[in-house]
């Protein structure tokens, strides 16, 4: 039976396409900020257990606490070493590795000495990676080598990946996330091509959505270092339920006459999760930083909504972005719920919109995400130049 840890790139893509929530098993849930508190570490540990992430990745000072929080669970503890510059000595990296493992880490993400690679001191680079890898393996831990791709040429990326493989490391990893550059599809593909299928490739830095995660896996990554793991899994759960996903909506309010009826429509027909619920309003999450608020029009005599409604009362309009490849799925979903499609619009740029109404008569538009992003980009440009 093929598992996530043993799967090839092609098999991983197939497994995730069959069940998007499997992406959770590739995630190292990461918190490496210098101001991370114990409360924040405890939070990511709870999230990792709840969503079955592969590991929690933390700074060495937080390893023991994270291990205590994760005791009895299947979630592993990953520690960074030589982080984030990679400029410490081999002796120090080995000592840091040993201490992290003693405190409960079972995986080590070590930053290479970037200057040594740039100087073509391959003997030093090989010796340092070998020393840390041997320390890991002697203690039953895995070693991932962070090559910090944003500082390297393609020739250097290939060379250091070959060195890491020769040293016996278990993974090569793209980035620390602190260098100003994160994982790219091109770098992941190059690294996978260099090390082959027998070694791991971890993509890290800038992976914030399920779409980002899928692209990295398709390029060859079999581990993902992310701080947006919860969001990615939530998107995966949405995709698994119906293969459809709303990307986002402008911060908007729609007035409704019957909160329970409206809640049923927006959660069951459109599949939007409730992020906050009050007597007179419901906040629906439509993206990482976007919210649609349903406000009870009957309460306007005693309390105004904090955000003006879009359009007239009870006749508002909200536009929701949908991945273009999912427009057919959304049309079928609306029809399956006996929602009348009032109009479909082909845009001059080759994109598409579907218009329908909620039970209160508010107009809703599902817009092809490509056009949606163009519209908002133009609005933002207009706002930035309106002095």
Catalytic residue among 109, 212, 358, 368, which?
109
The rounded distance, in Å, linking the Cα atoms of 176 and 179 is 7
The DSSP element (H or E) to which 319 belongs, if any, is: strand 315-322
On whether the CB atoms of residues 136 and 166 are closer than 8 A, the answer is no
The rounded distance, in Å, linking the Cα atoms of 172 and 195 is 8
The DSSP element (H or E) to which 365 belongs, if any, is: strand 363-368
Active site residue 165: no
DSSP single-letter state for residue 51: H
On whether the CB atoms of residues 73 and 49 are closer than 8 A, the answer is yes
The edge-to-edge listing of strands for the beta sheet with 252-256 is 252-256, 290-296, 281-287, 274-277
Residue 178, classed as helix, strand or coil, is: coil
112-143 burial by CB neighbour count: b if 16+ within 10 A, else e? bbbebbeeeeeeebbebbbbbbebbeeeebbb
Q: Under the phi-then-psi rule, with left for phi > 0, alpha for psi from -120 to 50, and beta for the rest, what region is 80?
A: beta
Catalytic residue among 28, 76, 173, 187, which?
173
Q: Which of 315, 272, 322, 269 is nearest to 292 (CA)?
A: 272
Identify any residues that bridge with 109 across adjacent strands, giving them in sequence order: 80, 144
CA angle in degrees (0–180, nearest 5) for 214-215-220: 95
Active site residue 212: no
The rounded distance, in Å, linking the Cα atoms of 66 and 192 is 31
Catalytic residue among 202, 212, 296, 368, which?
202
Active site residue 109: yes
- Positions annotated as catalytic residues are 109, 173, 202
């Amino acid at each position: 039976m093929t598992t996530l840890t043993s799967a090839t790139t092609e098999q991983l893509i197939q497994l995730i396409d069959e069940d998007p929530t499997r992406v959770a098993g590739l995630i190292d849930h990461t918190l490496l900020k210098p101001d991370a508190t114990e409360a924040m570490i405890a939070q990511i540990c709870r999230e990792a257990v709840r969503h079955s992430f592969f590991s929690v990745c933390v700074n060495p000072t937080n390893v023991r606490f994270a291990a205590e929080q994760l005791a009895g669970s299947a979630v592993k503890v990953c520690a960074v070493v030589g982080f984030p510059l990679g400029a410490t000595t081999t002796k120090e990296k080995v000592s840091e590795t040993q201490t992290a493992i003693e405190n409960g880490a079972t995986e080590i993400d070590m930053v290479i000495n970037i200057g040594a690679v740039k100087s073509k001191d391959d003997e030093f680079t090989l010796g340092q990676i070998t020393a840390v890898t041997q320390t890991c393996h002697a203690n039953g831990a895995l070693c991932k080598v962070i090559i910090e791709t944003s500082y390297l040429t393609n020739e250097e990326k290939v060379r250091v990946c070959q060195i890491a493989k020769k040293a016996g490391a278990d993974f090569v990893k793209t980035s620390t996330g602190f260098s100003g550059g994160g994982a790219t599809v091109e770098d992941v593909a190059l690294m996978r091509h260099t090390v082959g299928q027998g070694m791991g490739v971890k993509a890290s830095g800038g992976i914030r959505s399920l779409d980002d995660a899928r692209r990295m896996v398709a390029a060859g990554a079999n581990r993902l270092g992310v701080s947006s793991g919860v969001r990615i899994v939530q998107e995966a759960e949405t995709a698994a339920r119906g293969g459809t996903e709303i990307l986002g909506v402008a911060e908007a309010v729609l007035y409704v006459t019957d909160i329970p009826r409206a809640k049923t429509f927006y959660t069951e027909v459109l599949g939007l999760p409730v992020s906050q619920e009050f007597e007179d309003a419901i906040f629906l999450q439509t993206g990482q930083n976007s919210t649609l608020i349903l406000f009870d029009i009957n309460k306007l005599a005693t309390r105004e909504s904090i955000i003006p409604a879009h359009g007239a009362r009870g006749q508002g309009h909200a536009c929701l972005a949908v991945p273009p490849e999912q427009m057919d799925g959304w049309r079928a979903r609306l029809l399956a719920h006996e929602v009348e499609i009032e109009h479909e619009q082909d845009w001059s740029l080759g994109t598409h919109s579907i218009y329908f109404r909620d039970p209160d008569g508010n107009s809703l538009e599902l817009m092809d995400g490509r056009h949606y992003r163009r519209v908002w980009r133009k609005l933002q440009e207009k706002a930035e130049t309106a002095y």
